[in-house]
Chains A and B, each alone.
Chain A
């Protein structure tokens, strides 16, 4: 039990679908992250929220839209994705004063 829970664990979606990934943490952290893990590539930081404000957006295409309604929940809304967006999407949480990041188990996304 990592304290960071992601749902769903697996998702298959068509290129015209709209879906959302959910992340929830109960560690009392005030920062949450979305990472993308593709085969044979380093983890890529996509978005960072600190105190529910987006603080970093690493040039991610607009077909990925994050939402952080409160410090415990983070969403990644997906629409009109491409097959190359198939990857493991990892959520993490941490605190602004401590750069440790605790990861969820990830959502394995396949775009068909």
Chain B
């Protein structure tokens, strides 16, 4: 079955860049997502990338996809204390599937 792996914790200093990594096993993954969950809140879609893309940039966020290695990363430039949250990687095989498979989430702590 599908599996999505993330490291559980990441700690960075305010102003530095954060890189959150994710690996997945389903080679048919068509859509890959990053969600953010702040304390006590639901998941907020941050960005997504199609499998035919290598990179997507959206303001401070850069998503890199290495399809050969099944590796996805999220880079947050100039990390702020408001970026402290849990970040979830998720994949969907497309082809009409409703299934989103999530990783366990990476807790990002930003040190002032």
Q: Which of A4, A31, A42, A105 contacts B40 (CB 8 A)?
A: A105
Do the beta carbons of B42 and A45 come within 8 Å of each other?
no
Q: Is A43 an interface position by the 8 A CB rule?
A: yes
Q: Is A90 an interface position by the 8 A CB rule?
A: yes
Question: Which residues of the partner chain B approach A104 to less than 8 Å between Cβ atoms?
Answer: 42
Prevailing SS type, chain B contact patch: strand
Chain B, interface size: which category? 20 to 34
CB distance from B61 to the nearest CB of A (A): 16
CB distance from A45 to the nearest CB of B (A): 6
Q: How far is the CA of A99 from the CA of B48 in the complex (A)?
A: 10
Q: How far is the CA of A36 from the CA of B101 in the complex (A)?
A: 12
- Residues 88-110 of B, flagged 1 when their CB comes within 8 A of A and 0 if not, give 10101010111111111000000
B residues contacting A by CB (< 8 A) are 4, 31, 33, 35, 40-45, 48, 88, 90, 92, 94, 96-104
A residues contacting B by CB (< 8 A) are 2, 4, 6, 31, 33, 40-43, 45, 48, 50, 55-56, 90, 92, 94, 96, 99-106
20 A-B residue pairs with Cβ-Cβ distance under 8 Å, sorted by A, are A6-B42, A42-B4, A42-B101, A43-B43, A43-B88, A43-B90, A45-B98, A45-B100, A50-B98, A56-B98, A90-B42, A94-B98, A99-B31, A99-B94, A99-B97, A99-B98, A100-B45, A101-B45, A103-B35, A103-B43
